[in-house]
Amino acid sequence: MPEIVGQLIGFAVIASAIRSFVPLFLATIGGVFNERSGIVNIGIDGMMIFGTWFGAWGALRFGPVAGLLIAMLAGTLVALIHAIATVTFRVDHIVSGVAINILALGVPRFLSIVAFGQGTQSPAVEQLPHFSVPKLGEMSPVVPLTLVLGVAAWYVLNRTVFGLRMRSSGENPRAAESLGVRVVAMRYAGVLISGAFAGLAGAYISVELVGQYNEGMNQGRGFIALAALILGNWSVVGAALASLLFGWTEALTVFLRVSWIDNAFIQSLPYIATLVVLALFFRRVRPPKAVGQAYEAGAPI
Amino acid sequence: MKVEERPPPPQPEPAAEAVAGRIGLAEQARQLGMRLLAPAVSLVVSALVGALVILVVQRSFKDLSAVASSMWNYGLLNRSSFAFIFGRATPFIFAGLAVAIGFKAGLFNIGVEGQYAIGALVAAVVGAKVSAPTALEVPLVILAGMAGGLAWALIPALLKVYRGAHEVISTIMMNYVANGLLLYLLSGPLKDKHQVGAIAQQRTVEVHDTAGIGSMVPFFNSIGFNFRASSPVTWLFLLALVSAALYAFVVRRTRFGFELRVLGTNPRAAEPAGIRTNSMMLKAMLLSGAVAGLAGLQDVLGFDGFMKLDYVRFYGFTAIAIALIGRNTGLGIVAGALLFSYLDRASSGIGLNTDVPKEVTLIMQGVIILTIVVAYELVRRAAARRQLKEAHERA
């Protein structure tokens, strides 16, 4: 069955999988940072949505490079809300994250009406100059940038003092503090870095992948990134592999056509794959020890 | 469900009782004030942010007063305002209760969105297929809706209990899978193929008249309201209120509710206390899904008469906010539902009467959610500090 092989691992599918891999990997790297610092960030999806909007808006006003940077800034600012709520006010991490996701349903709609004159989409925006890869076709410069960022994230987290301090804040904050680590600052840093990555991931989708903002275009990728985080066992390398798997299932929704499966189900493939991954791997992985727990600096034990 | 046994209250001396009564009343008033403080602060902050946004975007005080007046006049004083608010609050109450049941057990059911969509679909199909007297058919379609919601909560519930999969992610994934399933069913096997009219909608066959849920307007008008006959409020509003009362009773007064709360507040203590945590978790999730299944019924059985593909209302996400605002209490959820329903009504007013985008109320809703969780946390800490201080003073 050469046709089905082409639909599963043909060059067009691989190229599409790489394009879908980028936002998932970026968001998952962000998730690695916030979770390793000890904060759960269910709001990644919302931060990505803000990224899609601000990316398109920035690209429209100041060009694509500025769009990506503005989206990163917007993601960081939304993450700051999450950090203030969870680190400083010690609100339940999931409650705060859910609140941010709800905010991301409404605020972009309002902003769109103000900035674009209609609620659900932006005009087409200018993209970065894409480059051509043999067999795979046009690629956004954000693709290699993502790989560079992935290597950088791995290095920072595993080979620097900053990374060690961040990881210790998520494993054993009490012990970390006794060794002079400023746990609160580390957790702020983890969440803000996460917001920046999520913002960039969102902007990649609107500016580079589609070329305009559409309401709902993020399609729950932030939650798939959370599943990739679990599947990747909270490591950058694992995140890359998991994102590749989910990126590939997303590509299949475009290319896979099987006569006895209705297309509606093929469209649901990334979500079903996420459920399967959760079911198979949730028990076998090891999250950071203190993730999700409130921490009060200097409090008596 | 067995009602918890409570020890008989101790009998204090008459004089002491009187003193305790007075202190108790002052203390109760203070506690009530503390409880209302957080929502009040949150409402004020959201109004201020809303006003600020309008000023920044429109740069005029005239628009601000136009918004305020239409929020007041159209939102509350218009002839049918309250009918709209009650009708809109109906799905919010059901969905809010569904989220709250999960919260009580320490579970985050973010899948209410998919659960009520599937519930509405099942109810619509049953209502179209089965023909029975209203007294039989209406309970049947309501149960069908609950069964649909329950079925959609089953997979995340099983994944949670047997595989440990986090319900936040799995329930959200189920929302997307529900979309896929609806797309398949409503454009194919369940599509009404005998529609009259130019454009065939992707929707189910219309339900029998006996499955329709009646308007509550005649009742309201008989007790002194003056709603337009077409106002969108059905008897499901009453069912929503009864459900909220029932929820409050079950959570506070029954063994099931007690075990639910133990599981939610201290899961590690639950197992040693003889609570079968896995079974409780499963029950809580399924009950949450079943109640969620009620949220879509008003649109399908009260208004449209069929389930359609573009049925996406975001009740599920609003419901999370409502459960948070209402602190998972029955009364609080009804109040939160009425508040968000009012904001929707006010939003239409802003859209009709002013130049300001009506989506400004969405921003206000977002701000309410974020500030309320912080405000509750601050109030809780203040109360804890006070208790500590009082304990020191007594000692």
Is the Cβ–Cβ distance between A84 and A205 less than 8 Å?
no
Question: What is the pLDDT at residue B125?
Answer: 95
Residue % of chain B over a pLDDT of 70? 93
Identify the closest residue of chain A to B159 by CA–CA distance: A279
What DSSP state is assigned to residue A133? E
Identify the closest residue of chain A to B103 by CA–CA distance: A95
pLDDT bin (cut points 50, 70, 90) of residue A158 is very high
Cβ contact, residue pair B321, A102, below 8 Å: yes
Is the Cβ–Cβ distance between B216 and B235 less than 8 Å?
yes
Residue A221 to chain B, least CA–CA distance (Å): 10
Indicate the average pLDDT of chain B: 88
pLDDT exceeds cutoff 80 at A262: yes
pLDDT exceeds cutoff 60 at B7: no
Cβ contact, residue pair A264, B183, below 8 Å: yes
Cβ contact, residue pair B360, A267, below 8 Å: no
* Residue corresponding to tokens 């909608």: B201
Averaged pLDDT, B130-157: 94
d(C-alpha B254, C-alpha B139), whole Å: 25
pLDDT exceeds cutoff 60 at B371: yes
Reading the block at residue A71, the tokens are: 């989206």
Question: What is the pLDDT at residue B10?
Answer: 47
Question: What is the pLDDT at residue B4?
Answer: 45
d(C-alpha B3, C-alpha B319), whole Å: 29
More confident residue, A284 or A103: A103
d(C-alpha A222, C-alpha B110), whole Å: 14
Cβ contact, residue pair A223, B169, below 8 Å: yes
Among A98, A224, A226, A231, the residue to mutate for chain B (most B Cβ within 10 A): A98
Question: What is the pLDDT at residue A17?
Answer: 95
pLDDT bin (cut points 50, 70, 90) of residue A118 is confident
Nearest to A279 among B163, B180, B324 (CB): B163
What residues in A contact B184, CB-CB < 8 Å? 262, 264-265
Averaged pLDDT, B177-187: 90
Predicted confidence (pLDDT) per residue in B237-276, tens digit: 999 999 999 999 999 999 999 999 999 888 888 888 888 9
pLDDT exceeds cutoff 80 at B199: no
Element (H, E) at B258: helix B255-265
What residues in A contact B321, CB-CB < 8 Å? 99, 102
Predicted confidence (pLDDT) per residue in B289-307, tens digit: 999 999 999 999 999 888 8
pLDDT bin (cut points 50, 70, 90) of residue A30 is very high
Among A93, A153, A300, which residue's Cα sits nearest to residue B168?
Answer: A93
Residue A111: CA atoms inside 13 Å, Cβ hemisphere, count? 21
A221 CB-contact burial (10 Å; exposed 0-12 / middle 13-18 / buried 19+)? buried
Predicted confidence (pLDDT) per residue in B313-352, tens digit: 789 888 988 998 899 999 999 999 999 999 999 999 998 9
Question: What is the pLDDT at residue B2?
Answer: 43
Nearest to A278 among B159, B324, B362 (CB): B159
pLDDT bin (cut points 50, 70, 90) of residue B382 is confident
pLDDT exceeds cutoff 60 at B130: yes
Q: Which domains does chain A have, with CATH numbers?
A: 2-121+141-284 (1.10.3470)
In CATH terms, the fold of domain B61-227+237-365 is ABC transporter involved in vitamin B12 uptake, BtuC (1.10.3470)
How far apart, in Å, do the first and last CA atoms of chain A sit?
65
Give the residue extent of every domain in chain B: 61-227+237-365
Confirm or reject contact between A279 and chain B (CB < 8 A): yes
Among A217, A278, A284, A296, the residue to mutate for chain B (most B Cβ within 10 A): A278
Among A291, A285, A85, which residue's Cα sits nearest to residue A169?
Answer: A291
What residues in B contact A106, CB-CB < 8 Å? 359, 362-363, 365-366
Question: What is the pLDDT at residue B21?
Answer: 52
B212 backbone φψ class: left, alpha, beta (φ>0; ψ -120 to 50)? beta
Cβ contact, residue pair B360, A90, below 8 Å: no
Question: What is the pLDDT at residue A294?
Answer: 86
Nearest to B373 among A99, A226, A268 (CB): A99
3-state secondary structure A262-296: CHHHHHCHHHHHHHHHHHHHHHHCCCCCCCCCCCC
What residues in A contact B163, CB-CB < 8 Å? 278-280, 282-283
d(C-alpha A95, C-alpha A82), whole Å: 10
Averaged pLDDT, A118-139: 92
Question: What is the pLDDT at residue A280?
Answer: 87
d(C-alpha A65, C-alpha B193), whole Å: 50
Which ipTM value was assigned to this complex?
0.87
d(C-alpha B219, C-alpha A159), whole Å: 71
- How many A/B residue pairs have CB atoms within 8 Å? 131
Is the Cβ–Cβ distance between B42 and B375 less than 8 Å?
yes
pLDDT bin (cut points 50, 70, 90) of residue A1 is low
The answer to pTM > 0.80 is: yes
pLDDT bin (cut points 50, 70, 90) of residue A300 is low
More confident residue, B16 or A247: A247
Scanning A106-145 for CB atoms below 8 A from B yields 106-107, 109-110, 113-114, 119
Weakest-pLDDT range from A6-10, A178-182, B250-254: A6-10
Identify the closest residue of chain A to B379 by CA–CA distance: A89
Cβ contact, residue pair B370, A268, below 8 Å: no
Cβ contact, residue pair B159, A262, below 8 Å: no
Question: What is the pLDDT at residue B13?
Answer: 46
pLDDT bin (cut points 50, 70, 90) of residue B308 is confident
Which residues make beta-bridge pairs with B171?
Answer: none
Scanning B137-176 for CB atoms below 8 A from A yields 155, 159, 163-166, 168-170, 172-176
Cβ contact, residue pair B369, A99, below 8 Å: yes
pLDDT exceeds cutoff 90 at A169: yes
